[in-house]
């Protein structure tokens, strides 16, 4: 009878990564497993035994040699260990490179395949000479977060007492001096590059292409991903291996997760005891926490939301108009594992297409991004053109904003690509709807309007299958509830909106029997970790920020605007008419400090409501408008508007000539257009007329970062502030949770 293999549910095997190697490693293994050694020599093209035992050319510490050699020794060590065992572990875990050994041990690929993968990975890592790494010791994470800036990222959360940083060598050297002044111990690492950071993006992109030639098996024993702390599957293996190159290694979270499952025994397979020592410190901290307290570090937000968009955090960067949410914002956010939307409002379609293509060329295929899709009821053909562009460019998610009803363009985007896979609906195009009214939330939580579906089918724009499936899906996959936000606002309270719409969502999911989750997000007023933590406490699946992001390095607005925004407080915003929906009385929230826009815009709207005809406004008022508001005659403005409409909207121009109220609206809206243009351009001569849409959240954010390196907007990177807000919100949530349950 063969050996009976059982699973040891209280044991975990771990494999070390780069840094564990030493000359002389594996000396008892080479002769015993000669066939594997010969296979390695043939694959690598050099004598790996001589490299490991003698290192005559002093290259073992070079990444392109270290990684294959360490993979070999780890693999042979596991073969040797397995001979004396009759049980499989509950988990295989590997630290960075060691994860390849964990996957090989779990049967995801064979020894030879793993060696080829690691050889390529080592060459790619070794080819990137930019950047370095720095180990930081001690329980100083919160203090460290306040000191990070520029390109520096946390590459490894090894334990609570050891973090590894990656980034620009000069910035790391400067940080090392600051850490010394703060009495924080740090050690530069002898590595060729800034591993597990955005510096590695070129390597990740090339590795993604390389992986296309491989297939993988189902793990026979669970292996947790360094990147997500979730189990590897046959479907996500390639994706996790790609993201591991640029993303943070969550080692301490992996060990904590295993400890929380009651697994206490860890066996390190490979040279040295680096991981054994790290795990000891994690276990000491873990065991010092009351078993009745929270079991593991909180990661706020819905896992299904994070998984749907392949994210690191349940955090979304909203799309700000005129490209303020620029391609730079989107690229940096997406690389960091945050969902972000390019701001298409007011941007010509040709420019939108160019920016989408640039974003796609700058990201991995696994990085997710979207575009903002602004309601334009006066020009439905513009909406349809944007929908067709998003479909053509394979934009997988759009942010539907300012919609009072469903448009046919939204339905078209939503339905294209719908299909069945083994009776399960496959959704190709997803919609995140930003709403502030329950009635609007309801229509997005309902199936697409049948009249639009019929129209699209009759025009041949959708297939019969797509039309049929439309009866079984909601219009939106995510509903973002806008409370007191910058830009268009109803000034609703998130404390009222979020619980109410969650209940509505639950009822409609049950009523329509949707077989996928619909997530509810919170937006508006989120400028501090405390505010974000409270949104999740209300039940939000994710959070979305807006105002705070236009005061970052990557935002597509002027430095002058950023200077003004970085100094506002929570009292420095005001409500003004919305230029794009001026006639309907819609409102936006704008920066008040340093600008007269809000008072002037409100005055224009009052005149519009009171008179409705330019000829009825008295001459004194007209003179004031021309001198102080427009700085030119109203006749000149009308001529400019008329020239524009002749080309862009000739039908509308005909109507205006017989409708004095609409004509007045167009003249006044000229001021709104110019005020935005002045701000984006940083036109100092028109500084008092800047229109900058912004809520009090930015004032709260400025207060939160006062005295830190983020006080200066020139140190605010879009991903840095997002990750820091979420990380501190998680800490706040966890501490308060522990306080409550331990009372």
Let me know how long the chain is. Answer: 743
519 flagged as catalytic: no
d(CA 497, CA 480): 10
Exposed / middle / buried, residue 455 (Cβ in 10 Å: 0-12, 13-18, 19+): middle
How far is CA 15 from its chain centroid? 30
Between helices 660-681 and 597-610, what is the axis angle to 10°? 170
Q: What count of other Cβ atoms lies within 10 Å of the Cβ of residue 350?
A: 9
Q: What are the backbone angles phi and psi of residue 615, rounded to the nearest 5°?
A: -70, -15
Q: Where does 493-552 show beta strands of DSSP type E?
A: 519-523, 542-545
Q: What angle do CA 236, 239, 241 make, to 5 degrees?
A: 105
Q: Is 663 exposed, middle or buried (0-12, 13-18, 19+ CB in 10 A)?
A: buried
**369/359 Cα distance (integer angstroms):** 9
DSSP 621-669: HHHHIIIIIISS-HHHHHHHHHHHHHHH-HHHHHHHTT-HHHHHHHHHH
Name the residue with tokens 């009495």. Answer: 183
Which neighbouring-strand residues pair with 8? 89
Q: Which strand (E) or helix (H) includes residue 465? A: helix 464-469
Q: What span, in angstroms and rounded, lies between the C-alpha atoms of 715 and 683?
A: 23
Judge contact between 230 and 224, C-beta under 8 A. yes
Burial string for 97-114 (b: 16+ CB within 10 Å, else e) reads bbbbbbbbbbebbebebb
Catalytic residue among 95, 160, 196, 519: 196
**Block residue for tokens 């929570």:** 570
Known active-site residue 293: no
Residue carrying structure tokens 């830009």: 487
- Site of tokens 């904590």: 256
Q: Which of 77, 96, 256, 595 is catalytic?
A: 96
The overall longest dimension of the chain from CA atoms, in Å, is 106
DSSP E strands in 345-412: the ranges are 370-374, 397-401
Active site residues: 96, 196
């Amino acid at each position: 009878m063969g050996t009976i293999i059982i699973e040891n549910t209280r044991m975990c095997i771990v494999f070390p990564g780069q840094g564990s190697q030493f000359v002389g490693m594996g000396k008892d293994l080479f002769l015993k497993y000669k066939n594997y050694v010969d296979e390695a020599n043939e694959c690598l093209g050099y004598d790996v035994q001589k490299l490991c035992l003698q290192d005559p050319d002093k290259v073992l510490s070079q990444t392109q040699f270290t990684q294959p050699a360490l993979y070999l020794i780890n693999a042979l060590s596991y073969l040797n260990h397995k001979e004396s065992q009759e049980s499989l572990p509950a988990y295989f875990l590997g630290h960075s490179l060691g994860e390849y050994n964990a996957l090989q041990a779990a049967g995801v690929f064979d020894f030879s395949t793993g060696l080829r993968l690691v050889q390529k990975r080592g060459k790619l890592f070794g080819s990137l000479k930019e950047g370095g790494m720095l180990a930081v010791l001690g329980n100083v994470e919160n203090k460290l977060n306040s000191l990070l800036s520029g390109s520096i990222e946390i590459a490894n959360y090894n334990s609570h007492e050891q973090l590894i940083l990656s980034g620009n060598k000069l910035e790391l050297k400067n940080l090392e001096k600051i850490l010394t002044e703060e009495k924080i111990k740090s050690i530069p690492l002898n590595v060729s590059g800034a591993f597990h950071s955005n510096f590695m993006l070129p390597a990740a992109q090339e590795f993604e292409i390389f992986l296309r030639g491989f297939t993988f098996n189902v793990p026979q024993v669970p292996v947790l991903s360094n990147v997500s702390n979730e189990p590897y599957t046959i479907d996500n293996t390639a994706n996790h291996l790609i993201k591991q190159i640029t993303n943070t290694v969550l080692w301490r979270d992996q060990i904590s997760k295993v400890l929380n499952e009651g697994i206490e025994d860890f066996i390190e397979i490979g040279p040295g005891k680096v991981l054994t020592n790290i795990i000891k410190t994690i276990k000491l901290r873990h065991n010092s926490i009351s078993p009745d307290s929270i079991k593991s570090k909180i990661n706020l937000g819905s896992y299904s939301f994070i998984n749907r968009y392949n994210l690191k955090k349940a955090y979304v960067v909203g799309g700000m108009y005129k490209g303020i949410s620029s391609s730079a914002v989107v690229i940096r956010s997406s690389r960091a594992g945050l969902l972000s939307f390019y701001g298409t409002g007011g941007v010509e379609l040709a420019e939108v297409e160019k920016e989408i293509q640039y974003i796609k060329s700058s990201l991995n295929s696994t990085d997710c991004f979207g575009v903002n899709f602004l309601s334009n009821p006066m020009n439905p053909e513009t909406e349809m053109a944007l929908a067709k562009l998003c479909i053509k460019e394979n934009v997988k998610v759009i942010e539907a904003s300012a919609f009072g009803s469903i448009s046919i363009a939204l339905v078209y985007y939503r339905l294209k690509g719908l299909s069945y896979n083994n009776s399960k609906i496959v959704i190709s195009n997803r919609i995140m709807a930003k709403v502030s009214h329950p009635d609007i939330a309801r229509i997005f939580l309902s199936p697409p309007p049948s009249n639009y579906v019929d129209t699209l089918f009759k025009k041949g724009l959708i297939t019969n299958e797509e039309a049929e499936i439309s009866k079984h899906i909601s219009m939106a996959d995510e509903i973002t509830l806008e409370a007191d936000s910058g830009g268009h606002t109803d000034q609703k309270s998130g404390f009222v909106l979020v619980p109410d719409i969650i209940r509505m969502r639950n009822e409609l999911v049950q009523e329509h029997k949707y077989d996928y989750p619909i997530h509810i997000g919170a937006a508006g007023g989120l400028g501090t970790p405390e505010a974000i933590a409270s949104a999740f406490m209300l039940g939000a699946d994710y959070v979305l920020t807006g105002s705070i992001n236009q005061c970052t390095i990557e935002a597509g607005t002027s430095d002058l605007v950023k200077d003004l925004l970085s100094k506002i407080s929570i009292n420095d915003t005001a409500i003004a008419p919305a230029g794009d929906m001026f006639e309907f009385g819609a409102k936006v929230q704008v920066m008040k400090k340093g600008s007269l826009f809000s008072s002037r815009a409100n005055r224009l709207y009052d005149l519009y409501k009171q008179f409705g005809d330019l000829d009825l406004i008295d001459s004194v008022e007209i003179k004031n408008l021309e001198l102080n508001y427009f700085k030119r005659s109203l006749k000149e403005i009308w001529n400019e508007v008329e020239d524009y409409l002749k080309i862009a909207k000739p039908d509308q121009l005909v109507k205006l000539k017989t409708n004095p109220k609409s004509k007045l609206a167009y003249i006044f809206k000229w001021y709104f257009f110019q005020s935005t243009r002045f701000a984006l351009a940083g036109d100092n001569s028109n500084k008092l007329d800047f229109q900058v849409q912004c809520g009090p959240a930015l004032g709260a954010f400025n207060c939160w970062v006062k005295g830190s390196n983020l006080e200066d907007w020139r140190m605010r990177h879009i991903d840095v502030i997002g990750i820091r807000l979420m990380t501190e919100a998680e800490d706040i949530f966890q501490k308060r949770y522990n306080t409550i349950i331990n009372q």
